[in-house]
């Protein structure tokens, strides 16, 4: 079985190296030939057209534009029956469009964006969120496991990309919120190291970032309250008063308080504070529900 790898950047190079270490015959390519140097020394072979020779092809490219550009050659030369995993963080629209084009040539495109950074790509501690044909995913699992320890089939084509975009948007929204609250704490006079230690000790600090979704929001149960909405509203109000006194702008904080205020106005003050998340579900026109029993299987 031959494996092709196009895109040998910060992520692609270590992922390709791990495939080689696992013993797979690997054809590599990049617009920057020098990016392949170490891989060629490790026994990979250079190819100007890896798609033409590969049973399984990987791409790890900057974004939609580069994937579309590379797809022209892939569509022209890939073998019918071949599988193409796009490891790039791409657009679901582009992924689905290319999937349809590939299908007409007998090639299965699966989206498989990764999470774990260059360190994870090197150590293999890497999540791969896969969307597309399930039998192809299962057939290629041994190869995917050489890249990352946590391949996960998310759903139909594009589902992996949606999961990745939701993950990264969450990360950067949390990052913006932490920048706000942390600068507030430091400007209000607490030593950064002490503040960091204190934050890690709190309820949110001890949880994995997304695990708290499973407590109330996913099962959709807000009564009785674990922490009442009226108390959360009081705490954020106090924090914003402190911010005003310290002249620290709190854009995310003001947004959070507006959500809590609207939920209070609904008469939900005695319910669990996370009931405010239902306002967004309402605006988005979607119901988000996972039965507790199913959550127990994951957590």
Instruction: Kindly list the residues in this chain that would bind ligand NAD in the complex (CB under 6 A).
Output: 6-12, 30-32, 35, 60-63, 66, 69-70, 88-89, 114-115, 117-118
Q: Give the nearer residue to ligand NAD in terms of CB position, either 8 or 147.
A: 8
Q: Which is nearer to ligand NAD, 159 or 276 (CB)?
A: 159
Distance of CA 60 to the CA centre of its chain: 15
Which of residues 117 and 192 has its CB atom nearest to ligand NAD in the complex? 117
CA angle 93–95–98, rounded 5-degree value:
105
The β-bridge relationship of strands 25-29 and 108-111 is unpaired
- 25, β-bridge pairs: 2
Nearest-approach distance from CB 22 to ligand NAD, in angstroms: 20
CB of 102 to ligand NAD, least distance (A): 17
The DSSP symbol for 228 reads B
Residue nearest to ligand NAD (CB): 9
Q: Could you tell me the smallest distance in angstroms from the CB atom of residue 18 to ligand NAD?
A: 14
Q: Catalytic site residue 145?
A: no
Q: Are 139 and 152 in contact (CB under 8 A)?
A: no
CB nearer ligand NAD, residue 29 or residue 108: 29
- Spot the catalytic one: 37, 65, 164, 296: 164
Nearest to 65 by CA among 28, 29, 98: 98
132 or 148, CB closer to ligand NAD? 148
CB of 251 to ligand NAD, least distance (A): 26
Residues 6 or more apart whose CB falls under 8 angstroms from that of 169 comprise none
Q: Find the shortest distance in angstroms from Cβ 125 to ligand NAD.
A: 12
Helices and strands per DSSP (H, E), number in the chain: 14, 9
Strands (E), 44-135: 45-46, 56-59, 83-86, 108-111, 114-115, 127-131
Q: Which active-site residues does the annotation give?
A: 164
């Amino acid at each position: 079985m031959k494996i092709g790898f196009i895109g040998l950047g910060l992520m692609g190079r270590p992922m390709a190296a791990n495939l080689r270490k696992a013993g797979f015959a690997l054809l590599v390519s990049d617009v920057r030939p020098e990016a392949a140097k170490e891989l060629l020394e490790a026994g990979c072979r250079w190819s100007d057209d890896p798609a033409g020779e590969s049973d399984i092809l990987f791409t790890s490219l900057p974004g939609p534009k580069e994937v579309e550009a590379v797809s022209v050659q892939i569509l022209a030369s890939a073998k019918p029956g071949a599988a193409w995993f796009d490891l790039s963080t791409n657009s679901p629209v582009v992924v689905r469009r290319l999937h349809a084009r590939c299908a007409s040539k007998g090639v299965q495109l699966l989206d498989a964006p990764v999470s774990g950074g260059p360190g994870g790509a090197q150590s293999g501690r890497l999540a791969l969120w896969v969307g597309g044909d399930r039998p192809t995913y299962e057939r290629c699992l041994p190869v995917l496991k050489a890249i990352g320890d946590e391949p996960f089939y998310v759903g139909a084509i594009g589902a992996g990309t949606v999961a990745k975009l939701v993950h990264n948007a969450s990360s950067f929204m949390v990052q913006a919120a932490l920048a706000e609250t942390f600068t507030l704490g430091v400007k209000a006079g607490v030593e950064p190291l002490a503040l960091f230690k204190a934050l890690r000790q709190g309820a949110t600090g001890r949880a994995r970032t997304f695990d708290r979704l499973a407590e109330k929001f996913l099962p959709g149960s807000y009564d009785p309250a674990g922490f009442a909405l009226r108390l959360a509203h009081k705490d954020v109000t106090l924090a914003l008063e402190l911010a005003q006194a310290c002249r620290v702008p709190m854009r995310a904080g003001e947004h959070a308080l507006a959500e809590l205020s609207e939920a209070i106005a609904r008469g939900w003050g005695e319910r669990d504070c996370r009931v405010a998340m239902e306002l967004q579900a309402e605006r988005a026109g979607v119901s988000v529900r996972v039965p507790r029993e199913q959550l127990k299987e994951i957590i």
